Amino acid sequence: MRDSSPIEAAVGIEYYVSETDGTGGRLRDRPEDFRVDERESFGADLRDLDADVGSYPHLVFRATLRRWDTNDFASALSKRLGVSRERVSWAGTKDKHAITTQLFSIKYGDNELPSVDGAEIEPLGRAGRPVLFGDLAGNEFEVIVRDAERPENAERIADELRRFGADDGDASDGAAVPNYFGQQRFGSMRSITHRVGLDVVRGDWESAAVRYVCESSEREPERTQAARTRLAEEREWADANELLPGGLRFERAIAGRLAEGATGPEDYRAALETLPTNLQRMFTNAAQSYAFNRMLSERLRRGLPFGQPVVGDVVCFADDDGLPDPGRSQTVETSQLETIRRHCKRGRAFVTAPLVGTGTEFGTGEPAEIAWSVLADLGLERGDFDRPGEFGSEGTRRAIRVETDLVVELDPLTLRFSLPNGSYATVLAREFLKGDPGNLA
């Protein structure tokens, strides 16, 4: 086990599980260096394109995007059509520094969609419900590492990850890493999403809104940093449109609402509610993710296993797709330990940690102690997640380890692997590069 960078530690990612020096290099030098293809799992009845629009109002389509963030593409498409962006939905969020193939739907009566630069759109059919976030089994990745300084280290790192994926310490066919939430969950350029989320669940709406608009990062352009600092000092929200670059439209939206008057918590909350609903949810989700990352780091520090449970762990059993089903969970007692370990070894059960919410189960023993200690350090209780609208969460559970079949090729250094929905390619790639997290963005 090896310490991570301070930047990663700031979002709860405190360790590498591989000891070998990194290859160095960088990701996403060009869009084709980072390819993502969704493994779709749309469970609704998909009818032909000529199906009755009244019964099947949602047009389902697949889009291959180049240099498009998912939210930005949805906004651009809805604007071209003259409809609300809320009519567009998707299975998984991707960022723009890649070529991605994704599943979308739009509540729209026509089957013809306008062309959008950098997007290849393929209508698939009509459905009675939209594509929902999570309507995919996982993602297939092809990642090229440019300018690797020590590419010869890649196979040794892969072997260490295969040992982490084995129950008995010997190398296995599959590699594994802790199922951390990656840096981009918290903001690659400005890692504050979880800090805003912590403000939200603590009920400090003013701090949340002001932080999102005003807190800067040294990775941002100097002009942007200066603009945020000035707004923080002067609180002249009407100046935001002039001061902030045009690309910061969400900050502008919040500032625009604050400019109408901000005299109490309800005004600051209303300002946050000007954002799309998925971004509102993202704040609380990021706070949950940060706490989860810290729990995994503490488990690593204590030397507890990831592929096998200890007494007090909560395991989730596999669904029909072989993925963890948070709705089927069980706290492991001493009398059940060996049986459940066999289930985990066969991929029928998974050790989990909480994404804390109002209804989250913490288990018992040392795993529960870890969860409670992280929550206490953050000054939170489960009831703090009882917030209005999109800001509240009942919580759930997430597997603490993710496994994959990994193929490593050289010249250029290329990583091919698949991950289940919700797991981050950069969490595996960081084990290889072991450098500036900015080189993963």
- Terminal CA-to-CA distance of the chain, rounded, Å? 23
Contact 135, 103 (CB under 8 A): yes
Pairing assessment for the beta strands 349-355 and 324-331 based on DSSP bridges: unpaired
- Active-site residue flag, 95: yes
**What tokens were used for 305?**
């296993």
Tokens standing for residue 356 = 């804390």
Short-list 94, 123, 93, CA closest to 108: 123
Helix (H, G, I), strand (E, B) or coil at 200: helix
C-alpha 282/C-alpha 207 separation (Å) is 16
Question: Residue 236 is which amino acid?
Answer: E
Per DSSP, the three-state class of 107 is strand
Are 127 and 105 within 8 A, CB to CB? yes
The region that residue 265 occupies, defined by phi over 0 for left and psi between -120 and 50 for alpha, beta otherwise, is alpha
Does residue 412 have a cis peptide bond before it, meaning omega lies within 30 degrees of 0? yes
Cα dihedral value 215, 292, 17, 368, nearest 10? 140
Question: How crowded is residue 170: how many other Cβ atoms within 10 Å of its Cβ?
Answer: 8
List Cβ neighbours of 333 (8 Å cut-off, separation of 6 or more): 311
**Catalytic one among 95, 135, 313, 384?**
95
List all residues 6 or more positions away from 174 whose beta carbon is below 8 Å from its beta carbon: 162, 165, 403, 404, 405, 406
The amino acid at residue 209 is: A
Q: Tell me the two tokens of residue 308.
A: 């096998």
Count CB-CB contacts under 10 A for residue 429: 22
**Side-chain half-sphere of 68: how many Cα atoms within 13 Å?**
23
Torsion 279-280-283-288 (CA) sign: negative
Strand partners, 144: 414
Q: In which region does residue 76 sit, left (phi positive, over 0), alpha (psi from -120 to 50) or beta (all else)?
A: alpha
Known catalytic residues are 95
